[in-house]
Amino acid sequence: MTKENAKIRIDELRRILNKSGYEYYVLDNPSISDFEYDRLMRELINIEAEYPELITPDSPTMRVGGEVSEGFSEVSHTVQMQSLADVFSKEELYEFDARVRAALDIESVEYVTEMKIDGLSVSLEYENGSFVRGSTRGNGFVGEDITQNLKTIASIPLRLTEDLPYLEVRGEVFMPEKSFIKLNEQREASGEPTFANPRNAAAGSLRQLDSRITAERRLDIFVFNVQRIEGHELSSHRQSLDYLKKLGFKVIPGDGVFSGIDEAYAEVMRIGENRGNLSFDIDGAVVKVNSFAQREILGTTSKTPKWAAAYKFPAEQQRTKLLDIALQVGRTGVVTPNAVLEPVRIAGSTVSRATLHNIDNIKDKDIRIGDTVIIEKAGDIIPAVVGVEKDGRSGDEKPFEMPKSCPVCGGELVREEGEAAVRCVNPNCAAQQLRAIIHFVSKPAMDIDGMGASIAEQLLEEGLVSCCADLYSLKYEDLISLERFGDKSVRNLLDSIEKSKQQGLDRVLFGLSIRMVGSRAAQIIAEVFKDIDSLMSSSADELASIPEIGEKTAKSICDYFRQDKSKDLVDRLRQAGVKLTYDAQTVDESLSDKIFVLTGTLPTLKRSEAKKLIEAHGGKVSGSVSKKTDYVVAGIDAGSKLDKAVSLGVSVISESELIGMLES
């Protein structure tokens, strides 16, 4: 691969991984599977290793995780909660076994094989037999204290059957299928957005500040490891699980010990074949060395044990009938075809709709209404039609043609040369208006808390808003009479709308739904032009000359601000008091001689915010760790940068320590 091709692929991988990481870890609303995410991350790591000069501070290889919810205190783990090294094939699993046998200098190893529960890893601590604290894994060194929420899980014993002086165990909290179905039914009935999958629901439930809400979610746990124990001797993993069961824990299912990798692999395959029959979700199987003495010899890296491997299963597929093709209109007018399916159970949920992407995909795969199609959940999250069984056709199947007019407003549909997307070009299309408002109020844009999709739709239907500028004209008397609105909710929403006026030019630009302008492009443009008027009077050539802003993006921005409707929208936002300027940070020199590297996701700060704070105090943020690095600021699920910092002896600090430095 040439350097030029490597850069193109790196940019594409970073875009996908950054988006997926935010959705998975911050929004708890993932769009790709762990399997796919891990595969893409591995590809990026390999390319960056070949071309280290292409590594940048915003590369996702420096972060593998999500944010800690506000309101929970930090917990330092006395024993590091490590993650597992992943394998994706039989060959890679056998390579793991070869490394183990070579390190131990023996012919065969005794393994224990377990299901890899798709949930949230936690630590449970006991003193004198009583449950005293529970915490999340976090970055392995520091997690968050969620003791009160964990106490609501009935399968966690609050008192052990023996009064051990101290015990710390590790387990995986998950949401059973029945609880997940019931929760989504309740949320749908109340107009709330549903959770994508049980793992998403479990994570959201454990992050509730009100433990009563967590109790209603009916979470469960499987305990699978002893982290630290006093008052009892253990010699093997199998023995430890039996002992934990005796103490009152619900331990990971399965009780087999396997002589050699052949037997262990056969069990991995059996687990994979049976995954669809379980009442909870799994995303793989874990193979562990059984002997604790052998584990001591094998040791660990700074992040993963050398005595265990996680075999990740590929996405599950099912066959069902394509009943119809429905069209959905997005916020930029893109009309997306979606498959209406005969309901089918796949990867832990019932699927009745799936994406077909675009008309070219339908034609290329020759997908017809009435076909038996193959459905796959991309990473067990987003259902998609990936194939067609053409041999079983009866002749009654109907080819699909994209209509000439919008299914919502009847406006003209246009397909520009070189694009796969078909768009509705009517700016007053109701579907576009709704999705544009939903995007404008979202957290990455104007962050108007309390304005979800259902509220936006309600305001649109009531005629109170037709575009984002109308939000700033809403009054108390407009909202108080609406269904689901009380005095407190109205005041909170109006306060949030008022607060959003100060977000600044970059957030406004992103919120306007300008084609090809994401949050990164919006920030770059705002930094260059500083105010909306300078931007609106700029030419496409000026915009295209900015690094990272291409010709197509430049043209899209100019086309947008050339429209009278866009000019009117900007004027209305200005009159409402929305801030349409960008303020650069004031720099002091207190950290002028210090070099920082940010890795993982910090508890309260976004990495971009931490970078700005460091630079505002004269410090430098680097994209890679070296002997010249002064501090590595490690967040949750810190990646390879943390490993390198440990190996080089670079100081590793937490977010709170960074803030302390800035304040001093």
* CATH code that applies to domain 430-575: 1.10.150.20
Task: Say whether pLDDT at 149 is over 50.
Answer: yes
Residue 72, classed as helix, strand or coil, is coil
DSSP 403: -
Which residues are catalytically annotated? Answer: 116
Task: Say whether pLDDT at 255 is over 80.
Answer: no
Query: Domain 595-663 has what CATH class?
Result: alpha beta
DSSP 34: H
Residue whose structure tokens are 């040369």: 417
**Predicted local confidence at residue 185, as pLDDT:** 78
* Cα–Cα distances in angstroms (integers) from residue 108 to residues 50, 94, 100, 166, 485, in the given order: 35, 12, 9, 34, 66
CA atoms within 13 A on the CB side of 196: 21
Taking Cα atoms as reference points, which of 196, 157, 197 lies closest to residue 176? 197
5-14, 134-143, 396-405, 428-437: lowest mean pLDDT where? 428-437
Task: Say whether pLDDT at 114 is over 90.
Answer: yes
Name the pLDDT band for 587 (thresholds 50, 70, 90). Answer: very low
Question: Averaged over 252-258, what is the pLDDT?
Answer: 86
Taking only the tens place, the pLDDT of each residue in 330-383 is 777 888 899 999 998 776 567 888 888 888 889 999 999 999 999 887 544 567
Taking only the tens place, the pLDDT of each residue in 161-205 is 899 999 999 999 999 888 888 887 777 666 566 676 788 788 888
Q: Are strands 120-127 and 166-174 parallel, antiparallel or unpaired?
A: antiparallel
Question: Averaged over 300-307, what is the pLDDT?
Answer: 88
φ/ψ of residue 373, rounded to 5:
-115, 160
Task: Say whether pLDDT at 664 is over 70.
Answer: no
Alpha helices by DSSP H, listed for 563-626, are 564-575, 607-616
**Predicted local confidence at residue 507, as pLDDT:** 92
Domain 3-62 falls in which CATH fold? Helix Hairpins (1.10.287)
CA dihedral 532, 537, 538, 540 (to 10 degrees): 110
Task: Say whether pLDDT at 291 is over 50.
Answer: yes
Question: Averaged over 599-628, what is the pLDDT?
Answer: 79
Domain 317-414 falls in which CATH fold? OB fold (Dihydrolipoamide Acetyltransferase, E2P) (2.40.50)
**Predicted local confidence at residue 57, as pLDDT:** 52
d(CA 426, CA 411): 6
Q: Which residue has the higher pLDDT, 288 or 186?
A: 288
Taking only the tens place, the pLDDT of each residue in 529-560 is 999 999 999 999 999 998 778 888 999 899 88
Residue whose structure tokens are 């209109």: 329
Q: Which residue has the higher pLDDT, 439 or 210?
A: 439
Strands (E), 500-581: none
Name the pLDDT band for 225 (thresholds 50, 70, 90). Answer: very high
Question: Averaged over 405-432, what is the pLDDT?
Answer: 82
Q: Which residue has the higher pLDDT, 459 or 663?
A: 459
Domain extents in the chain: 3-62, 74-312, 317-414, 430-575, 595-663
Q: Which residue has the higher pLDDT, 57 or 501?
A: 501
- Same CATH topology for 317-414 and 595-663? no
Task: Say whether pLDDT at 569 is over 60.
Answer: yes
CATH superfamily of 74-312: DNA ligase/mRNA capping enzyme (3.30.470.30)
**pLDDT above 70 coverage of the chain, percent:** 91
Angle between helix 430-441 and 453-461 (nearest 10): 140
23-27, 273-277, 431-435, 474-478: lowest mean pLDDT where? 23-27
**Predicted local confidence at residue 637, as pLDDT:** 64
Name the pLDDT band for 53 (thresholds 50, 70, 90). Answer: confident
d(CA 197, CA 180): 8
Question: Averaged over 516-532, what is the pLDDT?
Answer: 88
Task: Say whether pLDDT at 68 is over 50.
Answer: no
Task: Say whether pLDDT at 90 is over 90.
Answer: yes
Taking only the tens place, the pLDDT of each residue in 469-479 is 999 999 999 99
**Predicted local confidence at residue 586, as pLDDT:** 44
pTM: 0.53
pLDDT, mean over the chain: 85
Name the pLDDT band for 612 (thresholds 50, 70, 90). Answer: confident
Q: Which residues contact 552 (CB under 8 A, 6 or more apart)?
A: 516
248-252, 281-285, 646-650: lowest mean pLDDT where? 646-650
Q: Which residue has the higher pLDDT, 524 or 22?
A: 524
**Predicted local confidence at residue 254, as pLDDT:** 80
Question: Averaged over 618-639, what is the pLDDT?
Answer: 82
What is the layout of strands, in order, in the sheet containing 257-259? Answer: 86-87, 308-312, 282-289, 110-117, 257-259
